[in-house]
Structure 1
């Protein structure tokens, strides 16, 4: 479980943007902020980055504002077994091992492939794709090819690489094309079952049609028209750690006001801010749903996800947001579809 350090070592002056790129290149996903003498100053994990995004820290902010200055470490004589215990206890991706002077010797981290997950995955593929006409006149949107394969196949393969094997696909419009293409999932070495919406049930209502076995564990749900590099295991682990009723993947969206904005107290102007940039989080169309929330839906009426979230909040349930910094594209318009064709060449797992 020894890990080569070169790609993990960074300086405190590195930007969040550069750290995100570096984290995507290393395993385990752990950056070591070190001094010029190799002494460990702190660590940066994917979770640290996401917490920074929740605070709306800019991507050019430096790691000294993000890093954990008191990370869990092991001494020179630390063993793999001790590292495993710490990682399990604290939900860590790796443990630095230090010499007596605090210099990093190596990283002890998990080995092997992604864990096998028993949680069901629900992919929403029943929409009409009206904004992509005429392409969707004879083809459901999730079956449109981006690169050399349908959008939905790229999504499915990404979940499979993450260790998921139990899939449900919601179909309505031109459902035969989807069902004939994917079948029962055997050619992908997974199980696929179909939830047919005779009438559209909104973005959440079809959850009520899932069998009870699919709702026994937290359910991952995703729109079938997204390209993304989100780490689904991290989303699920986040949901479990938060003990949330619902977890919603969100993405930061910036909007510049094209005018000078007047700040005031009653009728007195206090300041005029010229063309300020406002930061918002938008719904990214990826969710983790607790068994209780999933079982609250009957499947008898249309329910959109914002309505489900509102209902659960009114019931006093916890709804958490999981900020994503990875590649994400909602293929809703023709311009998005053309962008996807360009992006797929560098999209992880497209090959």
Structure 2
């Protein structure tokens, strides 16, 4: 809550007094209290302007322009209660009262909406060579190619931070200095970043064997060449709810055969399907893993995520899929890179 000591007025104050408080304060309002600190009402810039239009002047009393029925919340109300109340009335601020109706502060709704910092680590695989994107990647690692006037990797970092996941580990290899020089320790981007240098190619799972400390919470693993607006908090909740050792994000992929497909049985044509569409689920390169999964990854050895999941499936471990319905694009080829730049502003306009 915001302190209100410097925005309090008594009912006999003038409009000039109220204007001074509103213009100098960050909250852009004044609260009017009685001698017992009980809330009488509030005044905003709009209230003052309406008063001046009705013939009042700067020396007039504020008594006739006080808004005496503001929406308020009690100190005992939960965060969810306050949010529900504010959103239902489209409010940005709510006065908070104690059990004796004395005002004790102003709650700014934006502060409640901001996500809490989560403990879960985010491990980003950003050491690939990006050979299919040459010549663009001859001097720049693929995650640092710009889409929407910023590196792909920056958008990924910002999206995780948006949901409160700020403990990030980057597994780097190819031209790693470019990534490290840009992100440094992450403070400029509101996150904490550590680096793991792969001295040899380790694969998307093998690099996890290089972690200095075993995570204590389920953690994310994501390829550094993806753009998506997935709700990472939903993935976290889904993984926990299902009690999974490993959750794989999957994306539906359609493939249309460009010809009429002839179905044959014992040399006899039994049917013809004209340009049928086959649908598959493919790995989206985003995972949520429980800490004990690290026991299944060999040390200092190339090991890919599909190999890890196959091993877990063979051992009847609880593996679940998380179907992505949100925007997702794997930037592996030139045409996908162009598409990403064409679509970025529309999809990620909230990230500046």
TM tier relative to shorter chain: 0.5 to 0.7
Q: 8 Å contact 1:260–1:272 — kept in the other structure?
A: yes
**Offset at 1:157?**
0.5
Q: Secondary structure of the residue that 2:346 maps to in structure 1?
A: coil
* Counterpart in the other structure of 1:197: 198
Give the 3-state SS of the residue equivalent to 1:200 in structure 2: coil
Cα deviation, residue 189, structure 1: 2.8
Q: Does the 8 Å contact 2:204/2:305 carry over to 1?
A: yes
Whole-Å Cα distance in 2 between the matches of residues 171 and 299 of structure 1? 17
The 3-state SS of whatever aligns with 1:184 is coil
| Structure 2 equivalent of residue 163 of structure 1 | 164
Deviation of the 1:193 alpha carbon: 0.5
State the partner residue of 2:333: 333
Structure-1 residue corresponding to 2:281: 281
RMSD, matched Cα:
2.4
Paired residues of 2:296 and 2:308 also in contact (CA < 8 A):
no
Q: Deviations over 1:105-129 (max 9, x none)?
A: xxxxxx6333431100001100011
Note if contact 1:147-1:341 (Cα within 8 Å) is conserved in structure 2. Answer: yes
Q: Measure, in 2, the Cα distance between the counterparts of 1:134 and 1:262.
A: 42
Say which one has the larger Rg: 2
- How many residues in Structure 1 have an aligned counterpart in Structure 2? 248
Tell me the CA shift for residue 272 of structure 1: 2.5
Q: Is the 8 A contact 1:219 1:289 kept in 2?
A: yes
1:97-146: CA deviation from partner (whole Å, max 9, x where unpaired)? xxxxxxxxxxxxxx633343110000110001111111111111111111
Contact 1:344–1:350 (8 Å) recurs in 2:
no
In structure 1, runs of 5+ residues without a counterpart are 1-79, 85-92, 94-110
Aligned residues of 2:122 and 2:169 also touching (Cα < 8 A): yes
Using the TM superposition, give the Cα deviation of residue 264 of structure 1 relative to its aligned residue in structure 2, in angstroms: 5.2
Deviation, 1:269, is 4.5
Q: Which residue of 1 aligns with 2:114?
A: 113
Report deviation, 1:267. 5.2
The residue aligned with 1:188 is 189
Q: 1:258 deviation in Å?
A: 2.3
Q: 2-side partners of 1:159 and 1:314: how far apart?
A: 32
Q: Cα deviations across residues 212-263 of structure 1 (Å, max 9, x unaligned)? A: 34x2211101100111111111111111111111111111111112233344
Give the CA deviation at 1:319: 1.4
Secondary structure of residue in 2 paired with 1:326:
coil
Deviations 1:296-331 (A, max 9, x none): 224310001110111111121121111111111111
Match of 1:29 in 2: none
Q: Which runs of 5+ in 2 are unaligned?
A: 1-76, 85-111
Q: Distance in 2 between matches of 1:266 and 1:240?
A: 50
CA contact (8 A) 1:208 1:296 kept: no
Q: Is the 8 A contact 1:257 1:277 kept in 2?
A: yes
Instruction: Confirm or deny: 8 A CA contact 1:216 1:291 kept in the other structure.
Output: yes
| Aligned: 1:172 with 2:173 | yes
SS of the residue 2:159 aligns to:
helix
* Rounded Cα–Cα distance in structure 2 between residues aligned with 1:316 and 1:332: 32
TM-score normalised per structure 1: 0.66
* Equivalent residue number for residue 26 of structure 2: none
Q: What secondary structure, in the 3-state scheme, does the structure 2 residue paired with 1:253 have?
A: strand
Distance 1:263 1:115 in 2: 56
**2:285 & 2:275 partners in 1: Cα distance?**
30
Equivalent residue runs for 1:1-351 within 5 Å:
112-213=113-214, 215-263=215-263, 266=266, 268-348=268-348, 349-351=350-352
> 1:344 aligns to what SS in structure 2?
helix
